């Protein structure tokens, strides 16, 4: 059984501030260890659940956060950025299940720790009219390859978002957010134990791939009209108003690549 793990940092227990997630931040090294610990818990749970091959994709910021020297040797790591499929680099039809570890809620989620959608220049993203965050965007790409997301971890609002979108996935709330920069956090040992148990359960239960039915319309609202000045350079995109742009295609892999291109162009 092959398991794919995409790991972000904002949803890790103990991480509640931007300075913890930035490479030059004063608490970044601690956050790296916490992130690596939760990934290891997921790896160990997957192994206990029958996984024979595990691929981990570092999906936060520079994507050079996970400490490879402390990672369980039964897994392999994709590190570095940019990557063509970003947070989902390495996913393909050969995997049986995917885990999203340390994820966070979509931009605009009230009281959720460090909520955003890929970048701070994005106000909202939707697929076929439904607002989505990184969880649904990335799960839809996994679903394109027939891979179900069976486990998500983060704060309680991320878990609620994932279940509302993906259905009855295993979810572990490693912290209870009470604001953008504050949360009641589980200690690492407890968070790791719960992730391990949930990972093992998730593989025994399995899941259904999250598939967005065509035609697929990606709509993005940026925080500034300047971002659209560049994003609308993508052939086939349709700008309406100062901040809103849409793109429609029947193929989700193409839609996902357009999404990535829009962000890259908008960042300048």
Q: Catalytic positions, please?
A: 116
User: What's the sign of the alpha-carbon dihedral 106, 17, 57, 118?
Assistant: positive
Question: Considering Cα of 13, then 14, then 15, then 17, what sign does the dihedral take?
Answer: positive
Q: Which helix (H) or strand (E) holds 92?
A: none
What are the b/e assignments for 150-176, b being 16+ CB within 10 Å? bbbbbbbbbbebbeebbeebbbbbbbe
Rounded distance, CA 179 to CA 87, Å?
Answer: 25
Residue whose token pair is 């990606």: 218
Contact of 33 with 67, CB cutoff 8 Å: yes
136's CB contacts (< 8 A; 6+ apart) are 106, 127, 165, 166, 210
State the helix-helix crossing angle for 28-48 and 188-205, rounded to 10 degrees: 40
| Interacting residues of 5 by C-beta distance below 8 A, sequence separation 6+ | 39, 42, 43, 46, 54, 55, 56, 57, 75, 98, 99, 100, 101
């Amino acid at each position: 059984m092959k398991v794919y793990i995409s790991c972000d940092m904002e949803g890790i227990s103990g991480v509640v501030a931007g300075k913890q997630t930035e490479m030059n931040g004063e608490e970044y090294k601690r956050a790296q260890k916490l992130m690596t610990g939760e990934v290891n818990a997921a790896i160990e749970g997957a192994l206990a659940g029958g996984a024979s091959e595990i691929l981990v994709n570092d999906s936060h910021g520079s994507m050079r956060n996970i400490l490879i020297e402390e990672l369980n040797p039964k897994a392999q790591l994709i590190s570095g950025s940019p990557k063509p499929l970003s947070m989902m680099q390495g996913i393909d039809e050969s995997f049986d299940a995917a885990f999203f570890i340390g994820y966070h809620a979509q931009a605009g989620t009230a009281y959720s720790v460090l909520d955003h959608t890929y970048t701070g220049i994005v106000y909202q993203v939707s697929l076929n009219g439904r607002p989505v965050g990184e969880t649904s965007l990335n799960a839809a790409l996994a679903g394109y390859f027939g891979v179900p997301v069976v486990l998500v971890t983060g704060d309680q609002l991320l878990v609620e978002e994932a279940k509302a979108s993906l259905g009855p996935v295993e979810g572990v709330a490693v912290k209870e957010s009470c604001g953008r920069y504050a949360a009641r956090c589980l200690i690492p040992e407890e968070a790791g134990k719960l992730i391990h148990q949930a990972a093992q359960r998730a593989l025994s239960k399995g899941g259904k791939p999250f598939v967005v039915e065509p035609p697929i319309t990606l709509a993005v609202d940026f925080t500034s009209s300047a971002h659209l000045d560049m994003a609308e350079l993508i052939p086939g995109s349709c700008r309406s108003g100062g901040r809103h742009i849409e793109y429609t295609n029947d193929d989700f892999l193409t839609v996902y690549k357009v999404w990535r291109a829009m962000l890259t162009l908008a960042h300048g």
